[in-house]
């Protein structure tokens, strides 16, 4: 029996026995070793049976297209499942994308997708740039570029005005063999250049809208190999433009875009050291014996460090879990000349002789994130297997046997992808090192109040602006702990709420004497009669337990009074993670009015109760800017 058949039986046996962790781990291993069109149905079918056993991220995708891609869907679903996304997809009619976008009563807007992919090929939308390039003049070429961009802008505008789904627009591919041959590379009006001009234009259009992203189909085809990707015979026969082997890379790429949009991301990469971050064992080989530099074999590990440094710039924290003597490892960072990362690049480290699951738990607690925010990087398959089974929440990055492939495995991981990066993201590591100084200050303060005073916190509350939109949406998507309702909003939806006169969206920035914590809170409220309803009230774990929430609530109470509203009302919807916010309403004098299966509804009569900002916080409020209320750009 082959390894594949064995894994299939193992998965079925685990499902029959109700061993869900084992079943999922086996299916993940099966897929990572044998992913194929044939296996997709099996893997997706078995994952269906795990529904409800793990917190899979639900997502609905609509795909508008100019070519056949139904055969890619089983692969897409299987890829999504192994990335913990429960994806359902609907494909538009063949080559009917324009009508579907423009028809307000069609299936597209009823389907209520979280994400819409617009998959159009160069040869379909601009045949003169694909098949007939040598036949047309310069004028017509420029005309085609303008026409295509104008069409896209209209479609995107229409989509954006009718749905708040994430939009992913496929970039246009360049032909493997330009019509003019090598001549194409010699002139500025080249065929490839004209198509790339459209792609550059698409990026500019996307930037004009919220929640519109470019899916870089051109880069995908090029990375895979243009000639290897395309299948002209199949294109002619069934309008499927790619070979059977090329469908998997497309499915994987879709998931790499879909995962961050669905909130399926990891916030921390916890890495091993020996034979992962460098070649060799520091405790045995010493600083001079370990390998990490631009030569072979050290280059494999240099590439890993390069990939991790790049990931860190997206706002993902790095941490170490390694079985070593701590001094040996720290010395290696300080004194090895080939090392790209320094000890200071890591937000937390556990270098000791404890087992990995214990260390991962401690790291999650120290960084104040859930275990499901951790991605685990380790060359040792046994350690990976152990973490997979003991901590099923953690994402274990599957690594190939050859270290030369490690860096690529990091770069391909969907959980480390980001669709946008805010100032807060790039500064995140700094926030955490300031956090360690704060923790030390708390340790030395004689009372909690003294600690609060010593922080000298400044809380700035302001209405949502285009500049803070991305971060605010990100906070609604990623904040799990201090979050009263855990409602997730896309940038588009948030902008719509902010421009609705009945609604208000406020952001909260917190500074203290150790530094700027950045934008860390969001409040979404709606006026309903004489009540102000708190739709969302959340705060990053960076500033939990520092009374910032009281300052935020004091602002809400004050602004309600100023607007003549009589009371504040809000739900607490419990989740597995938001216990830090469970007592919030009670502690601030709210009365319980209703209890349902979903949660509890609370009420504060503003004529009777008062919420005051703690006197150790300086509260600054920016009221609506001179531009007036937020307007959707």
**Binding stretches for other proteins (CB under 8 A):** 1-2, 5, 36-42, 45, 68, 70-71, 74, 233, 237-238, 240, 243-245, 247
Q: Residue 11 or residue 265: which is nearer to other proteins going by CB?
A: 11
Of 57 and 67, CB closest to other proteins: 67
Residue 77 CB, nearest approach to other proteins (Å): 13
CA distances from 86 to 89, 441, 475 (A): 10, 44, 22
Identify which of residues 236 and 439 has a Cβ nearer to other proteins in the complex: 236
CB of 529 to other proteins, least distance (A): 53
The answer to whether residues 539 and 479 touch, using CB atoms and an 8 Å cutoff, is: yes
Cis-peptide, bond into residue 297, ω within 30° of zero: yes
Residues 617/547, Cβ–Cβ less than 8 Å = yes
Task: Output the smallest distance, CB 331 to other proteins, in A.
Answer: 49
Task: Name the minimum Å distance from CB 75 to other proteins.
Answer: 10
For residues 265 and 418, the answer to whether their CB atoms sit within 8 Å is yes
Burial-class residue 296 by CB neighbours within 10 Å (0-12, 13-18, 19+): exposed
Q: Which is nearer to other proteins, 61 or 307 (CB)?
A: 61
Dihedral pair phi/psi, residue 432, rounded to 5° = -70, -35
User: Which two three-digit tokens encode residue 67?
Assistant: 């070519």
Please provide the distance, in angstroms rounded to a whole number, between the alpha carbons at the two ends of the chain. Answer: 60
Least spacing, CB of residue 517 vs other proteins, in Å: 50
In whole angstroms, the minimum distance from the beta carbon of 238 to other proteins comes to 6
Closer residue to other proteins, CB minimum distance, 48 or 624: 48
| Nearest Cα to Cα of residue 431 among 365, 312, 320, 517 | 517
d(CA 495, CA 175): 39
C-alpha to C-alpha distance for 184 and 141, rounded to whole angstroms: 14
Cβ closest to other proteins, residue 29 vs residue 191: 29
Give the nearer residue to other proteins in terms of CB position, either 243 or 511: 243
CB contact at 8 A, 594 and 600: yes
Q: How far is the CB of 575 from other proteins (least distance, A)?
A: 34
Task: Name the E strands within 100-252.
Answer: 115-119, 166-170, 212-215
The nearest distance, CB 35 to other proteins, in angstroms, is 10
Task: Give the integer Cα–Cα distance in Å for 447 and 322.
Answer: 36
Q: How far does CA 209 lie from the centroid of its chain?
A: 19
Enumerate the β-bridge partners of residue 27: none
**DSSP code of residue 129:** G
CB-based contact 410:416 (threshold 8 Å): yes
CB of 230 to other proteins, least distance (A): 13
User: Is residue 192 within a helix (H) or strand (E), and if so which, with residue range?
Assistant: helix 191-207
DSSP state of 291: B
Residue nearer to other proteins on the CB measure, 68 or 121: 68
In whole angstroms, give the CA distance from residue 484 to residue 501: 23
As measured in angstroms, the least distance from the Cβ of 236 to other proteins is 8
What is the torsion angle, in degrees rounded to the nearest 10, for the CA atoms of residue 288, residue 291, residue 292 and residue 298? Answer: 150
Residues 6 or more apart from 109 whose CB is under 8 A from it?
162, 163
Q: How far is the CB of 23 from other proteins (least distance, A)?
A: 17
């Amino acid at each position: 029996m082959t390894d594949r058949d064995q894994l299939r039986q193992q998965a079925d046996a685990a499902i029959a026995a109700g061993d869900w962790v084992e079943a999922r781990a086996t299916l993940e291993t099966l897929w990572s070793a044998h992913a194929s069109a044939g296996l997709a149905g099996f893997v997706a079918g078995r994952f269906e049976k795990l529904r409800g056993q793990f917190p899979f991220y639900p997502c609905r995708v609509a795909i508008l297209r100019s070519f056949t891609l139904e055969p890619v869907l089983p692969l897409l679903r299987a890829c999504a499942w192994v990335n913990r996304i429960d994806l359902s997809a609907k494909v538009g009619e063949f080559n009917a994308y324009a009508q579907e976008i423009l028809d307000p009563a069609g299936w597209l807007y009823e389907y209520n997708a979280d994400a819409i992919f617009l998959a159009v090929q160069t040869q379909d939308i601009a045949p003169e740039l694909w098949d007939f390039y040598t036949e047309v003049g310069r004028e017509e070429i420029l005309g085609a570029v303008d026409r295509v961009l104008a069409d896209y802008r209209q479609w995107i505008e229409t989509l954006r005005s009718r749905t708040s789904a994430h939009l992913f627009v496929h970039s246009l591919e360049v032909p493997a063999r330009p019509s003019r041959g090598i001549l194409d590379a010699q002139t500025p009006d080249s065929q490839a250049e004209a198509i790339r001009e459209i792609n550059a234009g698409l990026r500019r259009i996307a930037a004009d809208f919220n929640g519109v992203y470019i899916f870089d189909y051109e880069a995908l085809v090029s990375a895979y190999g243009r000639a290897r990707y395309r299948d002209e015979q199949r294109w002619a026969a069934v309008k499927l433009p790619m070979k059977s082997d090329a469908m998997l890379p497309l499915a994987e790429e879709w998931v790499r875009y879909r995962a961050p949009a669905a909130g399926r991301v990891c916030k921390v990469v916890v890495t091993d050291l020996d034979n992962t971050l460098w070649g060799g064992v520091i405790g045995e080989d010493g600083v001079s014996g370990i390998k990490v530099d631009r030569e072979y074999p050290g280059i494999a590990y240099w590439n890993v460090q390069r990939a991790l440094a790049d990931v860190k710039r997206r706002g993902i924290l790095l941490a170490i879990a390694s079985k070593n003597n701590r001094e040996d490892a720290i010395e290696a960072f300080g004194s090895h000349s080939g090392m790209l990362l320094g000890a200071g690049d890591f937000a937390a480290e556990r270098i000791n002789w404890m087992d990995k699951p214990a260390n991962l738990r401690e790291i999650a607690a120290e960084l104040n994130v859930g275990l499901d925010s951790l991605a685990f990087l380790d060359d040792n398959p046994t350690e990976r297997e152990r973490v997979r089974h003991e901590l099923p929440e953690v994402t274990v990055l599957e690594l190939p046997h050859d270290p030369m492939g490690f860096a690529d495995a990091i770069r391909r991981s969907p959980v480390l992808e980001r669709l946008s990066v805010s100032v807060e993201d790039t500064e995140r590591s700094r926030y955490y090192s300031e956090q360690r100084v704060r923790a030390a200050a708390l340790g030395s303060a004689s009372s909690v109040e003294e600690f609060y005073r010593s922080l000298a916190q400044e809380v700035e509350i302001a209405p949502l602006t285009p500049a803070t939109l991305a971060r605010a949406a990100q906070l609604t998507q990623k904040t799990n702990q201090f979050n009263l309702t855990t409602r997730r909003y896309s940038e588009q939806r948030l902008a719509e709420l902010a421009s609705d006169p009945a609604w208000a969206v406020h952001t909260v920035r917190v500074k203290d004497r150790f530094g700027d914590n950045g934008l860390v809170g969001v409040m979404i409220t709606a006026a309903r009669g004489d009540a102000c309803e708190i739709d969302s009230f959340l705060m990053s774990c960076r500033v939990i337990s520092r009374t910032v929430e009281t300052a935020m609530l004091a602002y809400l109470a004050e602004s309600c009074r100023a607007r003549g509203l009589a009371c504040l009302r809000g739900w607490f919807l419990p989740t597995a993670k938001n216990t830090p916010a469970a007592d919030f309403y009670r502690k601030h004098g709210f009365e319980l009015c209703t209890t349902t299966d979903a949660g509890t509804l609370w009420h504060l009569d503003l004529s009777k109760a008062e919420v005051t900002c703690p006197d150790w916080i300086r509260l600054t409020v920016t009221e609506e800017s001179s531009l007036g209320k937020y307007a959707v750009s």
